[in-house]
Amino acid sequence: MQAETIDYIRFTTISPEMVKKMSVAKLIVPDTYNEDGYPIDGGLIDQRLGVIDPGLKCKTCGGRAKTCTGHFGHIELVRPVVHPEFAKTIYLLLQSTCESCHRILLDEKQMEQFKPVVRDLITTDIIIEDNVETEGKLAMLTKKLKSVKKCPHCGVPQQKLKFERPTFFYLNGNKLKPDEIRDWLAKVSDDDLSYLGIDGKATRPEWLVLTMLLVPPVNVRPSITLETGERSEDDLTHKLVEIMRINQRLEQDIDAGAPQIIIDDLWELLQYHVTTYFNNETPGVPVARHRSTRPLKTLAQRLKGKEGRLRYNLSGKRVNFSARSVISCDTRLGINEVGIPIRLAENLTVPFYVTKWNIDEGKKPLASSTWPCEFNFIGKDGMRKRVTDLTREELLAAIEPGQILERQLIDGDLVLFNRQPTLHKFSIMAHRARVLPGKTLRVNVSITMPYNADFDGDEMNIHVPQSLEALAEARYLMQPKDLLLSSRDGRPISFLIEDQIAGIYLLTKDGAEFTKDEACLMLSNVGIRELPKPLKNGMYSGKALFSLLLPEDLNYTGKNTRGNVVIKNGELVEGIIDHKLIGGGGALLTRIFYEYGADFTSDFILKASTMALRTDYTHGLTVSIKDYYNTPETNREREAIITEAREKVKTLLENYKSKKLESLPGYTRRETFEMLTIAELAHARERAVGYLNKTLNESNNAYLMATIGARGSLLNMAWIKMLLGQQQVRGKRPARGYRGRVLPYFERNSNDPVARGFVETGFMDGLAPLQMYLHAMGSRDSTMTKSLVTAVSGYLQRRLINALQDFYVDTNLSVKDASGALIQTIYGGDGIDPAMTLVEKDLSK
């Protein structure tokens, strides 16, 4: 598929000669267009540098805007300037060499000593992976060179060299001009350079002081025409114009014999412009700005950071053959499917490789003018022809093996399905397309977990694989049915959720019975045509109905939240199927997956959820406000809970004040008091939960859902029915606001728990304005914290991936990195896929 042509990429610096060789034009006019709006010859938009206007031809290669890749030009600087990015390197070089004879400041003996170190660095093509030792010695060397007082070669004492950011050098307090630096560096021999690890053939140090400036082609810095017809130049062009302008003035002044001060001033100005041209964020340099005071984006800024060339354009690439839409749910789709709106399917194409075996299959859509039809026809010569009503007949006749057709997306095509943020590999999976009416992408709710998707307006993307390699990867490595077990911890990624859990519970709970009509409806929904054996009263037990979904030879014993679950020969004998087995815990799903395979499992999930939903319809499951009505007794209990909590806090406070309260080890007494108080007040909520658990029963649907793990929790119910309890800000009780009090309503330094964020009512009774305020404080705090966590953990993940991305498993199951370094002798100590964690556990039972 790809021709491997690049062995390696070497970085060097460019010599002035090289600049001249690369350049097609010496630029002399510090301007862009003339009055007629035509590029000036020798200006920055010189047509020899390539063209961006669609009408013009490149004067170098004759290409048009689309075909010409652009050519470099150059500016000859009248006076050399220091390349700002290399200033540090220049400093190192000046420090390491003699100011008089320009030899390296090492005596013969030392030279011998460092020779082998240096040879390692220069001569080996492949840099030694772990050259800690070499690097250490090199660092030692540069340190040593700094302290040399007298040149060992010519005996001249070395004066104090000072480097001032960004580009200034002083020798004994006298400024070193760039041309002096250049002369100095030019006299350092290649051999001496090698002691510093610098290859004189790649980088001659005098090249680090610029005499020529390479000017990038125009299509690197395109000018844009605004609606008003006004031209707006790229930041780089602006900068280059300024460099040229100063360069020209400097030249004129030199020629006119202007005083040295004026020349030096201009020279420094030229240095400034060159500095900001390379990097407009150089420390110690005022930022060059656009007329609108916006800082200019110069070379370094183009490369750097998230929006820079490397991360934005090179590590991430734009694609075609993709689509995006809002998602919604469809319980009739399997977990391995995705519903695609017809309008998308009409516009997405899939390559169809014509062979002698599938030629007829290819003809069908070719003959059609409505979906599914064909768009393009790629002949053996690679010529692409559009299929239209005019060409259809002709192309139909010409079809033969070896050609490629591009047809519209149809049912069964594999597409990649993705939701951002793409945090793990389960955020992009390959689904089978099902072309549907409507405008949204449709998914089964059971597969929302790995994508972390919901249907409150979420949008997702699809990508259509175009090459056979891509298709093969999607087919064999990316389908949800095959990826059922997460590589994080071996738990299923797809399982029943929410009302499906409720449905399965209602279906399989003890004593669940259904009439023949209900049973028939339920079974026909999942494509089962036979009824199980009825009970004595003519009804059908839910357990028996569910058992029809199970493989006949399945034997399983496990535990749900309430007790044991026994499946004997495909018959659910005892226990309720709940979320531990078929939800997030997925114990039963795991077993079915490895015993009966991917297809069976994904089918099972679909059928189980369909049956569960059917049960929901039959049984009915509504949460109403009635579920949250309080009996007088509940209200009394709430009062009791509050009184008790207040009592306890009061005693705590008394103990604290009378110094009876002993500080917990490691904490001050004040901290101890706070901790115990919070614990006491938190306990109030626990008591409320405990009370609800004791008094409510399954006739309360909200309670039912909470206990079986379908949705909500008893804590949620306690919040509504009883009390919200202690609110926290930054992990503590609210404390700030006004002097000595959180809100002006309270007394100063009040010891009332309410004054410190204890909310005594629930949503059912409603919150008093004050308590609502306190609750809002807690909510705000948690919202803010959450938004911070995403940034922090996002960066953590980026760091980890960058550090570990090169690791792979070798053929002997060892883990190696890109350079071949051994990380682990056998992956994970046993070479077993972490996705198999639960399977391993189940098997060893």
Partner 1 sequence: MAKSKGASMKITVGEPVGVVAAQSFGEPSTQMVLRSFHSAGMSSVVTTTGLPRIIEIIDARKRLSFPVMNIRLEKGSEKNYEKAKDVKRRVEGVKLGSLMSSFEENLKAGTMAVHLDREQLQANSLTIKNITDRIKAKFDGLETSSEGDTLTVKHKGKRDIRSVRTAFVRVRNLTVSGIEGIGKAVIQQDDNGNFYIVTAGSNLAGVMEVPGVNKNRIYSNDIFEVQDVYGIEAARNLIAHELSKTISDEGFTVSFKHIALIADAMTYSGKIRSAGRHGITGDKTSIFARAAYEETVKHFVNASVFGERDMLKGVAENILIGKQVNVGTGRIKLAIKKEDLKKIKSASD
Select the residue interacting with partner 1 from 598, 623, 715, 770 (CB under 8 A).
Answer: 598
Return d(Cα 58, Cα 309) in angstroms, integer: 26
Task: Return the SS3 of 99.
Answer: coil
Closest alpha carbon to 689 in 637, 649, 764: 637
Residue 481 or 646 having the CB closest to partner 1: 481
Instruction: Find out whether 75 and 243 touch, Cβ atoms under 8 Å.
Output: yes
Return d(Cα 803, Cα 796) in angstroms, integer: 11
458 is an interface residue for partner 1 by CB under 8 A: no
Instruction: Find out whether 215 and 241 touch, Cβ atoms under 8 Å.
Output: no
815 is an interface residue for partner 1 by CB under 8 A: yes
Instruction: Find out whether 120 and 131 touch, Cβ atoms under 8 Å.
Output: yes
358 is an interface residue for partner 1 by CB under 8 A: no
Pattern of binders to partner 1 over 88-127, x per CB under 8 A? -x-------------------------------x---xxx
Q: How far is the CB of 57 from partner 1 (least distance, A)?
A: 29
594 is an interface residue for partner 1 by CB under 8 A: yes
Task: Return the SS3 of 477.
Answer: helix
Residue 322 or 427 having the CB closest to partner 1: 427
Return d(Cα 657, Cα 16) in angstroms, integer: 82
Q: How far is the CB of 174 from partner 1 (least distance, A)?
A: 26
Q: Which stretch binds partner 1 (CB under 8 A): 168-176, 562-570, 717-725, 831-839?
A: 831-839
Q: How far is the CB of 403 from partner 1 (least distance, A)?
A: 14
Return d(Cα 79, Cα 320) in angstroms, integer: 49
Q: Which stretch binds partner 1 (CB under 8 A): 74-82, 211-219, 547-555, 832-840?
A: 832-840
Select the residue interacting with partner 1 from 55, 382, 632, 666 (CB under 8 A).
Answer: 666
Count of residues touching partner 1 (by CB under 8 A): 112
595 is an interface residue for partner 1 by CB under 8 A: yes
Q: Which stretch binds partner 1 (CB under 8 A): 304-312, 510-518, 613-621, 712-720?
A: 304-312
Chain positions 722 to 761 lying near partner 1, rule: CB under 8 A, are 730-731
Would you state the structure tokens that stand for residue 796, as one six-digit string?
């953590």
Task: Give the C-alpha distances (Å, rounded to integers) separating 640 from 627, 646, 690, 717.
Answer: 22, 10, 14, 18
Residue ranges of E strands in 342-446 = 349-353, 374-378, 384-386, 404-408, 414-418, 428-436, 441-443
DSSP for 654-709, please give it.
HHHHTT-SPPPTTS-HHHHHHHHHHHHHHHHHHHHHHHHHHH--TTSHHHHHHHHT
Q: How far is the CB of 793 from partner 1 (least distance, A)?
A: 4
Return d(Cα 612, Cα 121) in angstroms, integer: 68
Would you state the structure tokens that stand for residue 163, as one six-digit string?
């480097």
Q: Which residues, 6+ apart, have CB-to-CB distance to 684 below 8 Å?
A: 641, 642, 644, 645, 723, 725, 726, 758
468 is an interface residue for partner 1 by CB under 8 A: no
Chain positions 254 to 293 lying near partner 1, rule: CB under 8 A, are 279
Task: Return the SS3 of 162.
Answer: strand
Residue 42 or 831 having the CB closest to partner 1: 831
319 is an interface residue for partner 1 by CB under 8 A: no
4 is an interface residue for partner 1 by CB under 8 A: yes
The residue written with tokens 């009248």 in the block is 78
801 is an interface residue for partner 1 by CB under 8 A: yes
Select the residue interacting with partner 1 from 165, 201, 289, 364 (CB under 8 A).
Answer: 201
Chain positions 675 to 714 lying near partner 1, rule: CB under 8 A, are 675, 679
189 is an interface residue for partner 1 by CB under 8 A: no
Return d(Cα 675, Cα 669) in angstroms, integer: 10
195 is an interface residue for partner 1 by CB under 8 A: no
Q: How far is the CB of 16 from partner 1 (least distance, A)?
A: 15
Chain positions 481 to 510 lying near partner 1, rule: CB under 8 A, are 481-482, 485-491
136 is an interface residue for partner 1 by CB under 8 A: no
Q: How far is the CB of 803 from partner 1 (least distance, A)?
A: 4
How many C-beta atoms surround the C-beta of residue 284 within 10 A?
Answer: 10
Select the residue interacting with partner 1 from 91, 371, 596, 746 (CB under 8 A).
Answer: 596
Residue 107 or 810 having the CB closest to partner 1: 810
The enclosing H or E element of 540 equals strand 540-541
**How would you class 68 by CB atoms within 10 Å of its CB: exposed for 0-12, middle for 13-18, buried for 19 or more?**
buried
Q: How far is the CB of 756 from partner 1 (least distance, A)?
A: 18
Select the residue interacting with partner 1 from 319, 573, 776, 823 (CB under 8 A).
Answer: 823
Return d(Cα 542, Cα 572) in angstroms, integer: 10
86 is an interface residue for partner 1 by CB under 8 A: yes
Select the residue interacting with partner 1 from 197, 551, 558, 712 (CB under 8 A).
Answer: 197
Instruction: Find out whether 205 and 185 touch, Cβ atoms under 8 Å.
Output: yes
Strands 374-378, 384-386: pairing is antiparallel
480 is an interface residue for partner 1 by CB under 8 A: no
- The 3 state secondary structure assigned to 226-260 is CCCCCEECCHHHHHHHHHHHHHHHHHHHHHCCCCH
139 is an interface residue for partner 1 by CB under 8 A: no
Select the residue interacting with partner 1 from 31, 85, 120, 253 (CB under 8 A).
Answer: 85
Select the residue interacting with partner 1 from 82, 98, 210, 300 (CB under 8 A).
Answer: 300
308 is an interface residue for partner 1 by CB under 8 A: yes
821 is an interface residue for partner 1 by CB under 8 A: yes
Long-range CB contact pairs, 553-556, < 8 A, 24+: 554/591, 554/592, 554/595, 554/596, 556/588, 556/591
Q: How far is the CB of 632 from partner 1 (least distance, A)?
A: 37
Select the residue interacting with partner 1 from 314, 468, 573, 776 (CB under 8 A).
Answer: 314
Select the residue interacting with partner 1 from 393, 400, 747, 840 (CB under 8 A).
Answer: 840
808 is an interface residue for partner 1 by CB under 8 A: yes
